[in-house]
Chains A and B, each alone.
Chain A
Amino acid sequence: MSEFFSMGGYGSYIWASYGLTALAMIVLLIATLRGLRSSRIERDQLEAVLQSRRPRRTKKTQKAS
């Protein structure tokens, strides 16, 4: 097992490459998902306020569009 991790003495280089790549890809994904969630929450809140302010007209226009 330790032979696998040492990679013939080049372990630090190889694991650094794989680790950094994995880190970057995961961070990018998580940042996107978090942004998506918070933007969705904010949008829904705004839409809800919109609905409550103009209850009848918005429903009609939404169906039309």
Chain B
Amino acid sequence: MHRFAKPSVFLKFTAPILPWLSVLTAILIAAGLYFSLIGSPVDYQQGHTVRIMYIHVPAAWMGLFCYVGMAICGAMSLIWKHPLADICARATAPVGATFTALCLITGSLWGEPMWGTWWVWDARLTSMLILLFLYLGYMALVNAFDDPERGSKAGSALALVGAVNVPIVKFSVDWWNTLHQPASIVRMDGPAVDPSMQLPLALMILGFTCYYFVLLILRVRLELNERRIRALHLSGMFDETATPAAAKDKAYEAGHNAEAKQ
């Protein structure tokens, strides 16, 4: 029964936090948007495009943060076999993948006006691309099993293996990049961060992080509901036709067939 006790503990702890966290997220992002779009000066070299940085850098931060979170969850699932750790890792992956993709896209949108190219095989860009592949692999693996619990466990193991591999990949990509210097003179160093830029950057990073935690709570709840539904279905209390979902399907099918007949 302890498997059902844990979700209730999770709900008890997160229910009072969630509204505050949501409000905090909204305030932080709203303030961050104000300072990054209006309240900050233009960079003397990059002009207005520096404003993309206030999205790009927090997105990159979130991509890495989420992966580290997944790896920690994977380790906790390995050591303590806590089912909530698997669920947290599973709930984190889509958020991390989204932010990694956003980091790459905003990077491209920044690179085009500044360096005249959408993509360079720069070490940092390439590493982020590989990180995105790792996320996609994790998500594909987790969803490839009929039993979601088995998927989550396999995913935790993969997250851990990936986390061991990330430094090696990072090192090899850096090495590869210094060996093959891109022919064009591209300086991928961002602008030196001026104090006036630190505020919007910090606000955005905090706002994105809070947003992640809001989503994490919601997605874990979603996952817990789905597990409960699955457990109820498997308990044998319901034959196929008795469940509301199946009944709904039947009703839909009946309507569909009637339409087809007409």
Contacts and interface: CB of A to CB of B under 8 A. Distances in A.
Interface in A1-48: 4, 7-11, 13-14, 16-18, 20-21, 24-25, 28-29, 32-33, 35-36, 39-40, 42-43, 45-47
A43 B231 CA distance: 10
B215 A32 contact: yes
B51 A7 contact: yes
A19 B103 CA distance: 13
B229 A42 contact: yes
A45 B55 CA distance: 42
Contacts of B105: 17, 20
Contacts of A4: 38
B113 A21 contact: no
Nearest to A24: B98
Contacts of B242: 49
B109 A8 contact: no
A28 B95 contact: yes
A32 B222 CA distance: 8
A47 B232 CA distance: 8
Contact of B219 (A8, A32, A45): A32
A50 B106 contact: no
Contact of A13 (B94, B110, B215, B238): B110
B232 A46 contact: yes
B253 to A, nearest CB: 18
Interface stretch (B41-49, B149-157, B254-262): B41-49
A28 B91 CA distance: 12
A17 B106 contact: yes
Contacts of B42: 8
A8 B175 CA distance: 37
B218 interface: yes
A17 B51 CA distance: 9
Nearest to B5: A65
Given A7-B48, A33-B218, A43-B228, A65 B237 contact: no
B219 A43 contact: no
Interface of B: 1, 4-5, 33, 37-38, 42, 47-49, 51-52, 55-56, 59, 94-95, 98, 101-102, 105-106, 109-110, 112-113, 211, 214-215, 218-219, 221-222, 225-226, 228-229, 232-233, 237-238, 242-245
Interface of A: 4, 7-11, 13-14, 16-18, 20-21, 24-25, 28-29, 32-33, 35-36, 39-40, 42-43, 45-47, 49-50, 53-54, 65
Closest 9 A-B residue pairs measured CB to CB?
A39-B225, A7-B48, A45-B244, A8-B48, A17-B106, A46-B232, A36-B222, A17-B52, A13-B109
Given A14-B49, A43-B229, 11 more contacts: A13-B52, A13-B113, A17-B105, A17-B110, A24-B102, A32-B218, A36-B221, A39-B229, A45-B244, A46-B229, A50-B237
